[in-house]
Structure 1
Amino acid sequence: PTRTPDAEGETVSGYKLGPIIAYGGFSTIRCASSSTGGTVAVKIVRRSDIAQQQDPALARKRLDHEASVWLSLSHEHILPLFTAVHTSHADFFVTLYCPAGSLFDIMKRDGRPALPHDDAGMMFRQVVRGLRYLHEVARLVHRDIKLENILVDEMGVCRIGDFGMSMNIGELDVDDEDLLEMQMMQRQDEDENRTQSQGGGERRTTFAQAKRQTKPGLPVHLSMIRHHSGPRHRNSTPANDTTAPARPAQVFQTGSLPYAAPELLMPHFSTLARVDPAQDVWALGVMLYAMLTGRLPFVDTFDPRLQMKILHGVYKVPPGIGRGAELVLQGCIERSTSNRWTIAMVDAVAWGVGWG
C-alpha cells in the first residue's frame, strides 16, 4: 500500500518522521530526526481529520489562529514552534522534543502522589515566568493552563504549550457562530420591542444565554487521589451568584473544567465577557495545588456539582506546604477577579513556594 506523507519514515522539512509519541484532539505527534542527529517533535493535523470535525471551517480557523499565535512567541518557558509546513495532505508543526512529557505525565510517573515541594516550586516559578511573558509582552490569555499543557524538555525546563484557546487580552470571549446567533436574537428582540411599543406594551430584553455547553463526561484526573486532611479555606470575597448554571458560558477542552475560573461558569446575559488574564491566574493556582498535593482542589465526577464547588470556592488548605505557597493559593484561587492576584503579584512571591 502507498504510504501517506505523514507516515513514519517520510521526510518533512528535512526531518525524518519517527514513531508516534502522543495524540492531540485531532492531531498526531511524532518524534523526528534531522540529518545532523537532532530530535524534534512534529504535530501533524491531517486535512481529512479537519474535514470530519463538526464545523470544519471553524476548526480550520482555530488551527490557523494557533499557528499564527505560536509563531509569534519567543520565550525560554514557551514551547517554541520552529517551523510550520502546510501541504495538501496535512499541516506539520515542528517543535521542541520534550521526552519527559507534560507535568501531568511527570506527576503520574513520579508523584507520591505530589511532587517534592522544592521541585514543585522550581517548576511553578518557570511556568509563572512564561505566563507573565504571555500576559505582559504578548498580551495574550492562554485560557487552558493545566498540567497537561506544560511540557518539560530534556534539560528539565518547563514550557507552556497548546495555544489553540488563546485570545488577546480584552477580546470578546465569544465564537463567531455564537456572536452571529446573539446578533440575530438581538435584532429579533428589537423587532419585538418595536411591535410591542406600537401596541403600548413594554418589554425589557437581554442577550439570550450563549449556547455553549460543557462537553459531557469530562474526566477528572484519575491520578489525583482525594484526601481529607487540612482545614478548609473559603475565599473571603463573596460571590455575586453561586447558583449552578444549567449551561456554563464556556466550552472546555477535555480535562480543563477542574481548572476553570468561577466567572467562566456564569451564564452571560446583558453583557459579553472579555478575555481576562485573571482566568489564567486562577488555573495557575489550581495547578500549583495539584503539584503540591497530588490532587485537584475541586473534584467531582458529576460536572454540575463540580461547577457548584468551583463557584463556592471552598477548598482544603494542604498541610505542610509552607506560608509562601498558602499565600499564592489564596491570591490565585480567589473568586473575585478584582481581588485575584495578577501574574506580576504571583511572580513577586513565587520564590517562597517549596521552601516550607
Structure 2
Amino acid sequence: MPAARSSFLGEALTHNAAISARSLSSMCAAPHGLPSPPTAEVEEDGEAGKGEAGSPPTPPYRQQHLPPSTDEEMDERSPYDRVLYGLHHDPRWLKEVTLGRRVGFYRFRGELGQGNFSTVRLAVHQLTRDKVAIKVIDKSKLDQKTQRMLAREIANMDTLAHPNIIRLFEVVESLSRIHLVLEFAGGGELFNTITTEGRMTEAQAAAVFTQVLSAITYLHGLSIIHRDIKAENVFVSGPGHVKLGDFGFSTRVSDLEQQLSTFCGSPPYAAPELYKDESYLGPAVDTWALGVLLFFILTADMPFKAPTVAGLKRHILTGVYETPSHVSPEAASLISSLLVQDPSERPTTATIADHPFLSDAPCPATASRPLCSRPNLRQYA
C-alpha cells in the first residue's frame, strides 16, 4: 500500500510551520508509522543498485528488506534491520498491526485512559524496551475545530524539552488513526495519587508545586499558554517527581500581552475572567489554575465547588473560599496571591518562585540539566 499524506496532517503541516523535521518524517511516514525508505543515491556511472539489463535498478533499501537466504545472514543484520524486516514480512507482526495490537515499532500492552476522541494506551518499543504512552485518536471523530486543536497540540509539544513536561517522541499516522507517542509516567495522575493517599505534607507539596511551576515558567518563556493546568494533567514519573502533560488546549501567542477569547480548561480550575465572556491574558489564567492546584495538593479538596457549573461560576466570581486550619500561613499566603480576582494583580511565575513557602523546596531540574534522557536509538542501527 503506497504511503500518502492524509488531508488532516496535510492541513496540520500547512498551519504549523513549527513542527520539526523529526515529526514531519513521522507524520508523513509509510502506513503504520514505518520509517520512510532512504533515498538511493545513484552514482554517475550508473552502477549503484543496477539490476538486469533493461530492468530498473533495485534500490538498496529494497535489497535490505529481501528475505535472508540463511540464518547466518539474518544474524549478521543489525537489531534495527531485523525488526524492520519483521514489520514488513513476519506474518505474526503483520497480523498484530491489522488487529491494532501494534503500530510501527511499538506493541500495545494495555489501556491507561480514555477521552472523548482518544484512548491512551501503554506500549513498549520493540528495540529499546522502553514503555511509552500512546494517545490513539480516531480521525473519524474529529471535526474541523478538534483537528485544529490537535494540530496545535502536536506543534506545541514538538518544540518542548523540559524534565517536568511529558515529551512527545513522534507522531504516527495510519489511514484511520493518529498516534501520539508520549513519554510514560509510571505513577499515573497526581489526582489519583492524592485522592487515594490523601493530601501531601507541605514539604512534599512545595517540591511538587515547584516542578509544575518550573514547567509553566518554561512554557511562558516560549510564549505557550497551557490553559488546562489541573491535577489530572500532572503525572507522577517517580518518587517526588512530576511532569505536566496534555497540551490539547495549549496555544502559542505572539507575546504574553496578547488577548485571548476562547474558554478553555476545566471549570473548577477556570479563572473568573473566563466566566465573564471577556478577553483574557493567558499567563494570568495559568497562574490562577496554579493556585487551585496548590490548594488541592495541600487539602485534597477544591477551593471552589458546587454541584453545577452555574453554581461553580458564582463561587469563583465571588472569590470566597475557606482555607483549612492545617494549612500554614506561608502556604495560605501563596494561594491567596494566586487566587486574586484581578488578573493584573496575580504574580508572574518569577515572583511565585521567590515566595517564602517555596524557599526550602528542592531546586527542580532545568531544561539544560535534565534528570533523565531517552536512550539513543542510533546504538541499535
Q: Structure 1 10/115 Cα, relative in aligned 2: closer, same or farther at 3 Å?
A: same
**Which one of 323, 344, 350 corresponds to residue 350 of structure 2?**
344
* 1:42 aligned counterpart, secondary structure: strand
When the two structures are superposed, what TM-score results if normalisation uses the length of structure 1?
A: 0.69
Contact 1:325 1:353 in 2 (8 A): no
Amino acid at match of 1:41: A
Q: Quick one: distance in 1 between partners of 2:257 and 2:98?
A: 38
Q: Does 1:148 align with 2:232?
A: yes
1:341 Cα offset (Å): 1.1
Q: Quick one: distance in 1 between partners of 2:124 and 2:234?
A: 23
Please tell me the root mean square deviation across aligned C-alpha atoms, in Å.
2.2
* 1:124 aligned counterpart, secondary structure: helix
Larger mean CA deviation between 115-124 and 77-86 belongs to 115-124
Q: For structure 1, which runs of at least 5 residues remain unmatched after alignment?
A: 51-55, 176-249
* 2:324 aligned counterpart, secondary structure: coil
Q: Does 1:75 align with 2:162?
A: yes
Q: Quick one: distance in 2 between partners of 1:94 and 1:62?
A: 17
* 1:315 aligned counterpart, secondary structure: coil
Contact 2:190 2:232 in 1 (8 A): yes
**Which one of 134, 143, 161 corresponds to residue 219 of structure 2?**
134
Contact 2:229 2:289 in 1 (8 A): yes
Q: Structure 1 24/5 Cα, relative in aligned 2: closer, same or farther at 3 Å?
A: farther
1:116 Cα offset (Å): 2.5
Give the structure 1 partner of residue 319 of structure 2: 313
**Which one of 32, 38, 54 corresponds to residue 130 of structure 2?**
38
* 2:321 aligned counterpart, secondary structure: strand
Q: How does 1:80-159 map to 2 (within 5 A)?
A: 80-111=167-198, 114-135=199-220, 137-159=221-243
* 2:181 aligned counterpart, secondary structure: strand
Instruction: Show CA shifts across 1:117-163 (max 9, x none).
Output: 2222211111111111111x211111111111111113542111111
Contact 1:79 1:161 in 2 (8 A): yes
Q: Quick one: distance in 2 between partners of 1:156 and 1:7?
A: 38
Q: How does 1:190-269 map to 2 (within 5 A)?
A: 250=263, 252-253=264-265, 256-268=266-278
Q: Structure 1 108/353 Cα, relative in aligned 2: closer, same or farther at 3 Å?
A: farther
Percent identity of equivalent pairs: 30
Amino acid at match of 2:276: M
Q: For structure 2, which runs of at least 5 residues remain unmatched after alignment?
A: 1-93, 363-381
Give the structure 2 partner of residue 326 of structure 1: 332
Q: Quick one: distance in 2 between partners of 1:173 and 1:96?
A: 30
Contact 2:273 2:280 in 1 (8 A): no
Give the structure 2 partner of residue 48 of structure 1: 140
Q: Quick one: distance in 2 between partners of 1:127 and 1:285?
A: 11
Q: Structure 1 21/8 Cα, relative in aligned 2: closer, same or farther at 3 Å?
A: farther
Q: Structure 1 165/6 Cα, relative in aligned 2: closer, same or farther at 3 Å?
A: farther
1:171 Cα offset (Å): 4.2
Contact 2:169 2:182 in 1 (8 A): yes
* 2:179 aligned counterpart, secondary structure: strand
Instruction: Show CA shifts across 1:183-235 (max 9, x none).
Output: xxxxxxxxxxxxxxxxxxxxxxxxxxxxxxxxxxxxxxxxxxxxxxxxxxxxx
Amino acid at match of 2:115: G
Give the structure 1 partner of residue 248 of structure 2: 164
Contact 1:322 1:353 in 2 (8 A): no
Q: Quick one: distance in 2 between partners of 1:77 and 1:102?
A: 14
Contact 1:172 1:274 in 2 (8 A): yes
Q: Does 1:293 align with 2:299?
A: yes
Amino acid at match of 2:267: L
**Which one of 139, 143, 147 corresponds to residue 60 of structure 1?**
147
* 2:294 aligned counterpart, secondary structure: helix
Instruction: Show CA shifts across 1:296-338 (max 9, x none).
Output: 0001002212111101111112213223212211110111112
Q: Quick one: distance in 2 between partners of 1:102 and 1:132?
A: 21
Q: Does 1:28 align with 2:123?
A: no
Larger mean CA deviation between 147-156 and 90-99 belongs to 147-156
